[in-house]
Structure 1
């Protein structure tokens, strides 16, 4: 019995980390059962055997479809509560920015996963090349480098000189034919809610000039944040034309400090010809960058409000909903 229990745990994807996948699997099973019930009802109703009570069994089987529909409604409700979650501090209307993809519960992130479960195992590669924000939040929030450094990513020419006409394609998302990058931004929970309902507001100044600042990981952005934190935002960003600068050139106490480069970066002069300013740190995990126009450059984002600032998770018992079940999952 204990061996069977361990096998079941190893083969079931935990609902805490994959509410969307769980809903899809259960929906497929419900549809399959619904089709079988309809076939059964048809067979009962078309039975011509006088000794067979098909006329009675057909309505009974049809009545059981009500329970199947109720199960679907409950699963849909649970899916909406988890995957379309609204944190405690967001009491505004549901009209949010078109770039806002969703809030993700802190309980689904990082340390709350069980790495021994099949669906919860982290990526084996040091640099994960998956670019789905949900995947990065759940599986890579604690990683210092969930992606390659910008300088290590192969980039095509900024402008393609070709006489071939490019057909309009919905999948063509790269601005100036440049790859998208994932940025991490830490702010207060109140500011995160405000961003979800409006847009990113660029800062008026900073080490790299004006704009919206991002780091390469959650740990990196917490270390650089001026606020006390409370929430972090993971965004997909077409970098556009990038000006790369090494930190040593703009650090006044470093022997390689260059006043001309410092003024060009710090006074936002790079914004005349570039979309993004990327600072290369001597330690890869501390790279950061700033984008000139968040409204135009950010494709989408997801937001995680941290535990001390979101009481709704515990109030809804979403952090313990499946802890008392036999296998800990479904």
Structure 2
């Protein structure tokens, strides 16, 4: 367990029992009634009121972009619980290994929790983050490995974004952890014993309003 304080970017842990996929009538929570049309970009809302396959935003190049500094996008990252705890107490680390950097060196994100499944090298913890995209390099399917193991695009762009033939499998890579503005995370069932020890696997007073 890290002895350093939590990063100011780390906003909270979400008990896995509150994830949309684990919703039960014991907690009285309901799925977001707006479904895929939901415009709520609150990170907690995304984790709690939507399912694993939910994409909180259209694919990057299908939405109107704003100027750098306000070019925000929601990304999902999966790793193992130990690494997630290190991130919570510090920040993300840049990936540089050739095998795992298909679109260049950086920190990788998908558009949904589902989208991380075949990309993550480690499993057991999910992170939902708000990311400043900055200047974005578009990579199409025929350019999939153009920057593998490289950082050539860093001099002209802040983010590389791979447009998969299946939009659900898009992924993007930011060159600097400073672009990751804030995050929440969940440790999955089987890895987080605190859910049981703190009684978070059953209804408690704060959930009886039926709002979560």
Contact 1:278–1:290 (Cα < 8 Å) also in 2? yes
Contact 2:96–2:149 (Cα < 8 Å) also in 1? no
Aligned-pair CA distance for 1:137: 1.1
Spell out, residue by residue over 1:57-80, the C-alpha distance to the aligned partner (whole angstroms, 9 max, x if none).
Answer: xxxxxxxxxxxxxxxxxxxxxxxx
Contact 1:114–1:121 (Cα < 8 Å) also in 2? no
Q: Distance in 2 between matches of 1:150 and 1:216?
A: 9
The residue matched to 1:142 in structure 2 has which SS? coil
Q: Is the counterpart of residue 103 in structure 1 residue 21 in structure 2?
A: no
2:88 maps to 196
Aligned-pair CA distance for 1:207: 0.4
What is the aligned-residue RMSD (CA, Å)?
2.3
Q: Is the counterpart of residue 292 in structure 1 residue 202 in structure 2?
A: no
Correspondences of 1:60-75 after superposition (within 5 Å): none
- Quick check: which has more Rg, 1 or 2? 1
Spell out, residue by residue over 1:96-144, the C-alpha distance to the aligned partner (whole angstroms, 9 max, x if none).
Answer: 11111111100111123258x9852324242432111111111224134
Task: Name the one with the larger strand percent.
Answer: 2
Please give the TM-score of this superposition, normalised by the length of structure 1.
0.57
Closer, same or farther: CA 204–101 of 1 in aligned 2, 3 Å: same
1:120 maps to 30
Aligned-pair CA distance for 1:93: 4.3
Q: Is the counterpart of residue 149 in structure 1 residue 41 in structure 2?
A: no
Task: Note the residue ranges of structure 2 that are not aligned, 5 or more in a row.
Answer: none
Q: Distance in 2 between matches of 1:219 and 1:236?
A: 17
Closer, same or farther: CA 272–141 of 1 in aligned 2, 3 Å: farther
Partner of residue 246 from structure 1, selected from 119, 137, 140:
140
Contact 1:144–1:220 (Cα < 8 Å) also in 2? no
Partner of residue 140 from structure 1, selected from 35, 38, 50:
50
Q: Distance in 1 between matches of 2:102 and 2:59?
A: 20
Closer, same or farther: CA 94–266 of 1 in aligned 2, 3 Å: closer
Please give the TM-score of this superposition, normalised by the length of structure 2.
0.87
Q: Is the counterpart of residue 318 in structure 1 residue 200 in structure 2?
A: yes
Question: How many pairs does the alignment contain?
Answer: 204
Closer, same or farther: CA 271–123 of 1 in aligned 2, 3 Å: farther
Correspondences of 1:18-57 after superposition (within 5 Å): none
Q: Distance in 2 between matches of 1:192 and 1:118?
A: 29
